[in-house]
Structure 1
Amino acid sequence: MRDKKNIILILASIGTFVEALDIAIINLTIPAIQEQFNISYGTAQWLQTLYVLFFGGFLIIGGKLSDQLGRKKIFIIGAIIFMFTSLGAGLSTSFNSLALFRALQGFGAAFIMPSAMSIVINTFSEGQERNKAVGIFSSFAAIGSGSGLSIGGIITTYLSWQWVFLINVPILLITIILAYKILPTDEKNINHSRTDFLSAILLIAGLLTLTYGTHELININESPIIVIGSIVFSIFVLVLLSYRLKIVRSPLIDLNLFKYKSLLTANIAFFCLGAFFIGFLFLISLVLQKDMGYNSALTGLIMVPFSVMSALIAKFVLPKISKRLNSAKTSLIGWIFMLVGAISLLLAISFGHSLYIVMVGIACISGIGMTICFTGLSILGVQDMKASNFGIASSFTNTSYFLGGGLGLSFITLIGQFNTTNFVVGNLSVVALLIFALLALIILIVNTTSKKYKKKLKGIINVVIKF
């Protein structure tokens, strides 16, 4: 029985590893894609943005269908979609077809993530056993995100950018076959309420247009009507969605779930984590390749030790931390490393681009901080949920992560336009990472502080405001 549980955990973790890997793996392939299709860097960057948009936009639906139709069924459907769209992306002969398959990859990933999380939570007993399993599962997602740069750079240099996508096919094919044979049919905790598809359409339309409008703010002088119109339309749609969720009998999103402080805190911190880490992946690829002059292969090799470090942290350090600290405090430790990493990158960019200082920053963020943060926040987000709501709760936190990633990346790109240095990445872009880290630290400190100290903290804030 124990061995079967471990196999189920491995299958779910492999699924989330692959979709997380594809978040980062595209960054070091962009120069090769630019060259083949003769497009600008900004156009090529849509390959990352589309993936994040569709991933975040469809996550709520993926989680809801996981609860309603069954975790195993949605996991396999998501894996099949991801496998075939990876094949299509690898065989694409035009940028438009590549962008289409990249977007559909995000759609498939949105089915994999919440169903995989729900499978893990329902397989392991509540308490330390479940926390350990969720920790391992979440660490696979963190390791996948962190190792994308190293794997992407090496594959692009020694094979071709197409293999960044094609490598997913055999891995997922094996995973699908094993999942069909091994994963249990989940009838006990299935929520049989009807799916509110109109709310789903409003949610996707609102999130996609909001992220698009934010992403295109840098082009507001060229297309003011389109950019402003996208943002105004997204606000209108999201307000309409909020009203509908309050009046419909079986809403897509049960707003009452946010009465749980742990879920609300996890969502805010996950939003900051998405903005921070996806922004970091974008910036570090530019720093190493454009500002420091390393090619894709060498950039990938530089990142390899930190992928290994992330795996070691997940294997040996995280279990010890989770035994002694709750999920909120675990997340707090991870965010402290993220903050230190951002400060290191700021120092490196400000004073000569020292490789050693850059590597300290990468170690704190990709090697340590991301693994601890993602794991701690994943547990925090579902710790108070009923079994029938695991899928939707997981999709909430992951939607926050990718919405943060989309908006954060757009914000970093926007303020990057005000760079006054001779380098591609300026100080302001890294300062944005510091802001995201500080916001997350504040929300987690408030969560973990006792009522006695909260009153003192509130008093200090009031004094500062009056002053």
Structure 2
Amino acid sequence: MEVTMRRKQIILLVASTAIFFEALDIAILNLAIPLMQKQFHLDAETIQWVQTVYVLFYGGFLVIGGKLCDTIGRKTIFLTGASLFLFTSLGAGLSGNFILLTAFRALQGLAAAMVMPSALSIITNTFTEPAERNRSISIFSSFAAIGSGCGLALGGIVATYLGWQWIFFINVPVITVALILAYRYIDKDVISKGNRFPDIISSILLTLIIVLVSYVVHNLPGFSKNYLLLSSFTAVIIAAWLYFMRRERTQQQPLIDFSLFRSTGTITGNVITILLGAFFLSYLFLLSLILQQNMHFSAAHAGLLLFPFSVLSFLVSRYVVPALFKKMTVLQTGILGMCLMLSGSLLLMISIIYDHSLPVILLSIACVTGSGMSVCYPSLTALAIRDIPDTQQGVAAGICTTSYFIGAGLGLSLLALGMQLLTSATDAINHIPVLLVSCFALPGVIWLVWVRKKIC
């Protein structure tokens, strides 16, 4: 019994470590972006692709990653995804040009889409007792929250004193150890012969569509110079979308079961989650540039400034959110969270107008990263899955996560488009890009208020 418990603890540590670095990898990049921008001599609109491709590939392949766990095996997918994550981390750190770095980041997103669902599947199948399973999932989720929180501070410190390349290199030794332990301790896969192989073609089509949409949106200001290329990509998008929808209607096991989207709550939860993803990563992107380019903070200084708000986010998630769910409906909690997001962006805009007032910026960060995200994400996920049958809630939650990452990638592209059209070519960020980010949160607030009578 003691050996079995020790084995379970090692498996939990391995899975939690993997999800820690997956969450870390999104957050850690934000404060290193200005240093990458400086080295590669790129504008703010172009450098955002290093984050955009990661979240788009992550979101595009996340659902298929979960389904592959059932057909190929959760251990096999975990080892494959973690190995790819290790290889791409090393490749990203060694990249000598921006195109190569972006390619490795895209593959990192694919690797994360394999690691996340397989790690969760390993935990739920290792810990079978309800109380034990709930505790292990709670620990697993805490590692994800800690990874996201530490990334902001750690990314700034590592990038300042070791170079931006080391935000990728730090993954290598830890993931290597995790791979060895996973191979040694995770049980062999037992695969049911009755499982159908998932529709990988639809997953590739979905990812192709969202990446091309992001590219076309980003390059619209130069349409007159590249009209043949952009027109061709638009035609490919339309053709791929029509083929994707046809496949989804004819497949026995479609990638996305659109019959799940019958209730107002499910539609609302996913649509607002798309807006949340667009808002949050765009906000962090601008915040990093404002702190380092406008206010001339070092990446380390900016990271240390943001770290207390990561602690605040953890405390809000742990103590405040459960209390809110007891006193308010899921919809009311979602409205509160989106109002915090909108308030944070408006405060950031006001701080820029009034000579970068630090107290106002700190209040903005408290609204968004310190509390708003912790309130929004669980409430919108709960809203998206509450009308779904118990047997399909896992799939619905995966689709909601996919919505978040797709929104994040498209949001960064729309922000880049707005910055090209409405701002001058200067290193400093003015209030207009922040106003654009606010436009992601405002429709979310309006939508939630509008449907409150339809969702009891």
Alignment TM-score, normalising by the size of structure 2: 0.85
2:314 maps to which of 311, 316, 336: 311
- Worse-matched range after superposition: 432-441 or 291-300: 432-441
Q: Show CA shifts across 1:114-170 (max 9, x none).
A: 334455666778999988876665565455445433221110111121210011123
1:366 maps to which of 358, 369, 381: 369
Secondary structure at the counterpart of residue 95 of structure 2:
coil
- Worse-matched range after superposition: 101-110 or 200-209: 200-209
Is 1:196 equivalent to 2:199 in the alignment? yes
2:49 maps to which of 46, 68, 93: 46
Flag the 1:412–1:116 CA change in 2: closer, same or farther, 3 A: same
Distance in 1 separating the partners of 2:184 and 2:292: 44
Is 1:59 equivalent to 2:76 in the alignment? no
Q: Show CA shifts across 1:194-235 (max 9, x none).
A: 322332332222222112212222332331222243234213
Q: List alignment gaps of at least 5 residues for structure 2.
A: none
RMSD: 3.5
Is 1:152 equivalent to 2:152 in the alignment? no
Distance in 2 separating the partners of 1:237 and 1:152: 37
Aligned AA for 1:427?
H
Secondary structure at the counterpart of residue 103 of structure 2:
helix
Other-structure match for 1:459:
none
Is 1:68 equivalent to 2:68 in the alignment? no
Is 1:210 equivalent to 2:213 in the alignment? yes
Other-structure match for 1:221:
224
What pairs with 1:275-290 in structure 2 (closer than 5 Å)?
A: 275-290=278-293
Secondary structure at the counterpart of residue 161 of structure 1:
coil
Other-structure match for 1:405:
408
2:268 maps to which of 265, 268, 281: 265
Distance in 1 separating the partners of 2:228 and 2:295: 38
Aligned AA for 2:52?
T
Distance in 2 separating the partners of 1:83 and 1:238: 33
- Worse-matched range after superposition: 173-182 or 56-65: 173-182
Secondary structure at the counterpart of residue 261 of structure 2:
helix
Q: Show CA shifts across 1:386-418 (max 9, x none).
A: 676565434312221121111111111222231
Flag the 1:149–1:437 CA change in 2: closer, same or farther, 3 A: same
2:435 maps to which of 431, 445, 453: 431
Contact kept in structure 2, 1:82 and 1:109, CA below 8 Å:
yes
Contact kept in structure 1, 2:79 and 2:183, CA below 8 Å:
yes
Secondary structure at the counterpart of residue 259 of structure 1:
coil
Flag the 1:221–1:21 CA change in 2: closer, same or farther, 3 A: farther
1:241 maps to which of 216, 239, 244: 244
Flag the 1:133–1:313 CA change in 2: closer, same or farther, 3 A: farther
Flag the 1:67–1:387 CA change in 2: closer, same or farther, 3 A: farther
Distance in 2 separating the partners of 1:206 and 1:336: 31
Other-structure match for 1:173:
176
Aligned AA for 1:302?
L
What pairs with 1:10-49 in structure 2 (closer than 5 Å)?
A: 11-39=14-42, 41-49=44-52
Is 1:77 equivalent to 2:80 in the alignment? yes
Secondary structure at the counterpart of residue 194 of structure 1:
coil
Other-structure match for 1:110:
113
Flag the 1:122–1:212 CA change in 2: closer, same or farther, 3 A: farther
Q: Show CA shifts across 1:225-273 (max 9, x none).
A: 2224323421331122112211233322222222355543332122111
CA drift at 1:434 = 2.2
Contact kept in structure 1, 2:214 and 2:409, CA below 8 Å:
yes
CA drift at 1:368 = 1.4
Flag the 1:321–1:395 CA change in 2: closer, same or farther, 3 A: same
Is 1:300 equivalent to 2:303 in the alignment? yes
Flag the 1:401–1:376 CA change in 2: closer, same or farther, 3 A: same
CA drift at 1:420 = 6.5
Distance in 2 separating the partners of 1:399 and 1:318: 23
Aligned AA for 2:116?
M
CA drift at 1:85 = 1.2
Q: Percent identity?
A: 43
CA drift at 1:421 = 11
Alignment TM-score, normalising by the size of structure 1: 0.83
Contact kept in structure 2, 1:339 and 1:434, CA below 8 Å:
yes
Contact kept in structure 1, 2:149 and 2:311, CA below 8 Å:
no
Distance in 2 separating the partners of 1:201 and 1:38: 32
